[in-house]
Structure 1
Amino acid sequence: MTATRSAHANYSHRRKPASVRLRAAVFAGLSAFALSATAADREAGLTAPLPPLLPWKGQSESLIVTRGDWITPAEATNFATTPDYETTRVFAQKLAAASPDIQVQDIGNAASGRAIQLITLSAGGSDPRTNGKPTLLAQAGIHSGEIDGKDASFMLLRDYVTGNAELRALIEKVNLLVIPILNVDGHERAGLYSRMNQRGPNNAGWRTNGNNLNLNRDYTKLDTPELRAVMDIINDYQPELYLDIHVTDGEDYQYDITYGYNGAFASDSPAIAQWLEQHFQGDVDAALSAAGHIPGPLVFGVNSKEFSDGVSHWTASPRFSNGLGDLRHTPTVLIENHSLKPFRQRVLGTYVFIKAALNTLAEKGDALTTAIQSDQKRRPQNQVLAWRASETPDLTVYAEKPFKGIDYEKRPNRISGTEEVVWLGKAKDYLNLPVYRDEIKAIEVQVPKAFYIPRHEDLVISRLKAHGIAISAAELGKTQNHSTPLTQFTVQAHEFAKVPFEGHFRVEGQFTEKPVQVDLNNYVKVSTDQPLGLLATALLDPRGPDSFFQWGFFNQIFQRTEYAEAYALVPLAEKVLAFDAKVKGEFEKRLQDKAFADDPAARLNFFYLRSPYYDQQYLKYPVLMQY
């Protein structure tokens, strides 16, 4: 989905600009019309007209099977539809029954109880965790309407089962894991009207899961059973390469298969980023081009009304798969097939992509393993928790080879009352198209040696464990007098979001910090001297936009649960005024402020704040840092 530069600044990947979001009143009217129409009327009248297409034919069309026992469900409908949940599971079992190299297992359940399937392909059915070969994990349907990866994987696995020599040779060198549908509940909320701006399938599923949560915003907080199942697989199998397969919308352009990863200019895994740039990207682009597809970069227009203003090269935060992969040193590529290209074309391109990725992993996997190990050993002193876009664009990216766009014009529109972009379905190349990279450090922090978390923060601790972050017992009985000093943050100012986002009222804060002496008997320790140390920092430093703090996991610190009664506080205040000249002077100074002087509650609170009865944990961030 598309995003504006302001959306990127807020780390809300692919949010529609306000100018193209329909008002609630429009939806209400449309719903009333839809309910009054027959099914035939709805299909004829309410299917959104999409821009015209460029003609396409490619070598990858030879991959399609049209007859015999091994037609995939999507091929059987000429890619009009994708198989439903039960049909998908049956076809996966058919593949497993046909080859001992294919295993099928359930790796978890959605909230509805539907099981999430994992298909494993390895030579001889050996265990990918122990056979010493690099592993590719291909995940489809995290947004279940974007289901291209499932049907492409089924075609590829079918070809393996039926004896494709190239695939057989590849699987002698690498392992393949496939999650055909991650968002199994959203997958079954399917229909013609799931995705207005996408060409097929006609029964596309819904973006969010059964609890209306977007799984592709859950990679840090791990609220959903679906994402916890994925994290179990990543921790268990340690894949050398992870493909997260989507479909993107927004601007029209010639590219049918776009993809991206965090660039080396803003990466916590620079060796992996260099491998992706120097080895992976060239191989995949060549394979896609040879098959008749047009591979392109994962970019987003900075102005939905004027594409020529430029594109944004996004740096993903860890709430997304490629952002998390960068932090945990799991090479992760976000594939975004273009929604305006036909489902058939997108599926074929995805097949070519997966096969090309397997080939690169087979040929250059040793270099990738070396890069992973190098990044896992990094222990930087500082860490960037958020990036923002450069104000000055790079004009060199498309100085020699143009961006392959689509021509458009702007026309006055009586519906919106303003000019709207109309894509014309004609190729248009853009030389010197401005590129705005997310390469400016917006939030940079010092990486502590360790974090100390109170044992009662069981939700936070359980989520850290789900990520695979090592947690140990604290140095029991030690305090600041006997060990390295600890630092605690206090919230000086904070602001809650006005509306919920992904089931949370997010909160941002400003902090002061000071050294503290704490008995650590009731704490656990998270050392940053571990491969996932940078991920731990992103989750536990409250200044990070994807920290547990900002996701609202510590909102209890914003509430006070003990109070003062005037009959006890007034005599205490009189005693303080009699014996503490400093407090007396501060109080008399405050009385010069008429608003304070006229407010009895404020006057009483002045003394309560300074009394030993005041809640000493109020606004104190409970996670301690050791620098």
Structure 2
Amino acid sequence: MHLLIKYARKVLPIFFFLNATAQLTPYEKDPQKNTTATYQEMIDYYQTLAKKYPKQSKLFTCGKTDVGKPLQLFVLSKSGEFSPEKLKKSGNAIFLINNGIHPGEPEGIDASMMLARDLLAKNALPDNEVIAIITAYNLGGMLNRGESRVNQNGPVTYGFRGNRRNLDLNRDFIKTDSKNSYSFQEIFNSWDPDVFLDNHTSDGADYQYIMTLIDTQRDKLTPILGKYMKEKFTDELYKRMATKDYKLIPYIDFPGETPESGIEAYLETPRYSTGFAALHNTIAYMPETHMWKPFQQRVESTYQLMVYLKDIIHEQGNTLLATRRKAKDYVKNQTTFPLRWKLDTTKYANIPFYGYEAEHKPSEVSGLTRLYYNRDRPFTRTIKLYDRYQASLTINKPKAYIIPQCYDKAISLLQLNHVKLMPIKQDTIVHAEVYYIKDFPTNTQPYEGHYLHHDITLEKKMMDVPFYKGDYMAFTNQESNRYLIETLEPEGVDSYFCWNFFDGILSRKEYFSPYIFEDKAAELLKKNPQLRTDLDNAIDKNPSLKNDAHGQLEWIYQHSNFFEKTYKLYPIARIL
């Protein structure tokens, strides 16, 4: 049956029964259920909850954001303990919920307010699980309230996608240009969540589903955690949501004009919240409610997903904690790490798809043919789901990395993500493997404030490298190996190098004056006949060099001892 019709005919018993004195959200107060809370309404709401239920809830004021206001973390703990260290020692699982990373997608903000209230009002907190809610992440975007999403069906007004610096914060988890990201990472690494949820709204094709779901691509996780997440969490979420007429489907990303061409599972790299969580062996989900469904359906489906995820965490209990421990131990001892991935098109599943017929008609704007989805013609068809990835590039980890102290942002982020760094106690020379950056294609247009490098190719060399007192060594026998390796290996898709942390090495600092170097170049050729032979061979391979006097001088200069050895030399050494 058509999902929207089923929903309209059935009143879903989602929320706990509340008495007349219950604290209602702005969403609930609106008869049309088309209102999302403002920043001040949200803060006032949580402050009231914290005062009303001081033994089981606490509102933490965390680090600053780019708009100057701090992140707020609302923690629900049945035991009344609010220290993450003590909670984890006593066997509690941590469920971290993030809302409003894109404030124009506010369902999670309103649904989390109701969830927190309902759990407290009914004394329904689980006894082995702590729920931590980032009330809203992108506060600058939330305060920039208006109507900026033309493709979205409500609420009446809402926040803006970009933050105060006009950054998309769901691209900022590695480069960390925003204060928001730094503060988030402080929260994430302090609480070390076992399960992470980041609430969103989708854009794209039209279909019957109210919600699609991005689950951490399981091939990117350890075999231990990936299999466990799929069987005990993802599959269970699909089963339980279907019982409430909220059938799930993977995030609908397709190669053709319409979803019937098949769905390709989304690969969330470390720049995204769930990709960042994967670096820490955390099970992570990103629900995407459909932008054209009524706001009420989007809020209530988000609420229900959080309830079920909370329940599954409670049911899994010690098994969840033990599985994550095994995954961390696996990563600590792992020797080979994937850096890039490609879709495995040889593996797919046939799944039912509840869609609408895609049709074409003349555009009233241009008069040309346009695509539209006919909601009067719903259908169910079998389509292909491609949800497996293969590593397209792997790296053998070194024994350790050495990081010059001058790269303070990289060092700060490594430490923030619990990478153990050991300062070098005296100046030294280290025989190590180093990389020369051979090729680094760069985006011609800025992307989130950066000209991103990609498809890096390297030349490896062993050489003696000077390091100095205060530089850092990072051994690769750590639980944080994935964060360490995927950020420091230049070929990683979201490495620090790709995000321009080391661009100083990509330009030369010394040059020659031709009228002076002419005599020195002639001298070099006379003293080294092999150099002359190599130059002649270079000219044979590149005939244009024959009539290029400066080009020949440049070739000799680059092949002489005068040419700077630091040009394109990646500054982080690998101890093998």
Comparing 196-205 with 142-151, greater Cα deviation is found at 196-205
Q: How does 1:225-244 map to 2 (within 5 A)?
A: 225-244=179-198
- Structure 1 distance, partners of 2:58, 2:15, is 27
Paired letter, 2:25: T
Paired letter, 1:272: L
Note if contact 1:242-1:332 (Cα within 8 Å) is conserved in structure 2. yes
Paired letter, 1:207: R
Answer yes or no: is 1:278 the counterpart of 2:278: no
Candidates 416, 425, 428, aligned match of 1:466: 416
Paired letter, 1:254: Q
Of all paired residues, the percent bearing the same amino acid is 25
Report the counterpart of residue 499 of structure 1 in structure 2.
445
Comparing 196-205 with 64-73, greater Cα deviation is found at 64-73
Report the counterpart of residue 565 of structure 2 in structure 1.
616
- Structure 2 distance, partners of 1:211, 1:121, is 32
Comparing 278-287 with 216-225, greater Cα deviation is found at 278-287
- Structure 1 distance, partners of 2:78, 2:48, is 18
Report the counterpart of residue 319 of structure 1 in structure 2.
271
Answer yes or no: is 1:152 the counterpart of 2:99: no
Report the counterpart of residue 479 of structure 2 in structure 1.
531
Note if contact 1:404-1:427 (Cα within 8 Å) is conserved in structure 2. no
List alignment gaps of at least 5 residues for structure 2.
none
Report the counterpart of residue 606 of structure 1 in structure 2.
555
- Structure 1 distance, partners of 2:387, 2:239, is 25
Report the counterpart of residue 170 of structure 2 in structure 1.
216
SS of the equivalent of 1:496 reads: coil
Paired letter, 1:496: T
- Structure 2 distance, partners of 1:328, 1:62, is 33
Answer yes or no: is 1:189 the counterpart of 2:138: no
How far off its partner does 1:595 sit? Answer: 2.8
Note if contact 2:103-2:161 (Cα within 8 Å) is conserved in structure 1. yes
Change (3 A) 1:441 1:594: closer
Report the counterpart of residue 74 of structure 1 in structure 2.
27
Candidates 181, 200, 207, aligned match of 1:246: 200
Report the counterpart of residue 548 of structure 1 in structure 2.
496
Answer yes or no: is 1:294 the counterpart of 2:253: no
- Structure 2 distance, partners of 1:475, 1:410, is 70
CA deviations 1:216-275 (Å, max 9, x no partner) are 1112222211121111111111121111111112122222232232343x1233322222
Report the counterpart of residue 174 of structure 1 in structure 2.
129
- Structure 2 distance, partners of 1:465, 1:411, is 57
Note if contact 1:272-1:372 (Cα within 8 Å) is conserved in structure 2. yes
How far off its partner does 1:381 sit? Answer: 2.5
- Structure 2 distance, partners of 1:291, 1:435, is 23
- Structure 2 distance, partners of 1:499, 1:285, is 40
- Structure 1 distance, partners of 2:374, 2:447, is 36
Answer yes or no: is 1:520 the counterpart of 2:463: no
Report the counterpart of residue 425 of structure 1 in structure 2.
375
Note if contact 1:406-1:427 (Cα within 8 Å) is conserved in structure 2. yes
- Structure 1 distance, partners of 2:426, 2:264, is 49
Comparing 138-147 with 284-293, greater Cα deviation is found at 284-293
How far off its partner does 1:527 sit? Answer: 1.8
CA deviations 1:510-561 (Å, max 9, x no partner) are 2111111123335311222111102211111111110111111111111112
- Structure 2 distance, partners of 1:111, 1:337, is 27
Cα RMSD, aligned residues only: 2.4
Change (3 A) 1:551 1:181: same
Change (3 A) 1:111 1:202: same
Note if contact 2:446-2:452 (Cα within 8 Å) is conserved in structure 1. yes
How far off its partner does 1:332 sit? Answer: 1.3
Answer yes or no: is 1:387 the counterpart of 2:387: no
Candidates 441, 458, 462, aligned match of 1:511: 458
Q: How does 1:564-603 map to 2 (within 5 A)?
A: 564-590=512-538, 595-603=544-552
Report the counterpart of residue 267 of structure 1 in structure 2.
220
CA deviations 1:318-360 (Å, max 9, x no partner) are 1112222222102211121222221111111222221222221
How far off its partner does 1:280 sit? Answer: 1.8
Length, aligned pairs only: 561
Change (3 A) 1:72 1:61: same
Answer yes or no: is 1:337 the counterpart of 2:289: yes
How far off its partner does 1:53 sit? Answer: 6.0
- Structure 2 distance, partners of 1:479, 1:450, is 15
- Structure 1 distance, partners of 2:384, 2:143, is 41
Report the counterpart of residue 120 of structure 1 in structure 2.
75
Change (3 A) 1:178 1:590: closer
How far off its partner does 1:211 sit? Answer: 0.8
- Structure 2 distance, partners of 1:178, 1:594, is 65
SS of the equivalent of 1:297 reads: coil
- Structure 2 distance, partners of 1:619, 1:612, is 16
- Structure 2 distance, partners of 1:105, 1:62, is 26
Change (3 A) 1:426 1:66: farther
Comparing 592-601 with 377-386, greater Cα deviation is found at 592-601
Paired letter, 2:575: Q
How far off its partner does 1:146 sit? Answer: 1.1
Q: How does 1:402-413 map to 2 (within 5 A)?
A: 402-413=352-363
- Structure 1 distance, partners of 2:154, 2:476, is 46
Comparing 564-573 with 229-238, greater Cα deviation is found at 564-573
Report the counterpart of residue 401 of structure 2 in structure 1.
451
Candidates 488, 493, 506, aligned match of 1:558: 506
Note if contact 2:37-2:109 (Cα within 8 Å) is conserved in structure 1. no
Change (3 A) 1:596 1:349: same
- Structure 2 distance, partners of 1:61, 1:532, is 39
- Structure 2 distance, partners of 1:346, 1:589, is 67
How far off its partner does 1:65 sit? Answer: 6.5
List alignment gaps of at least 5 residues for structure 1.
1-51
Note if contact 2:354-2:381 (Cα within 8 Å) is conserved in structure 1. no
SS of the equivalent of 1:208 reads: coil
SS of the equivalent of 2:241 reads: helix
- Structure 2 distance, partners of 1:119, 1:295, is 28
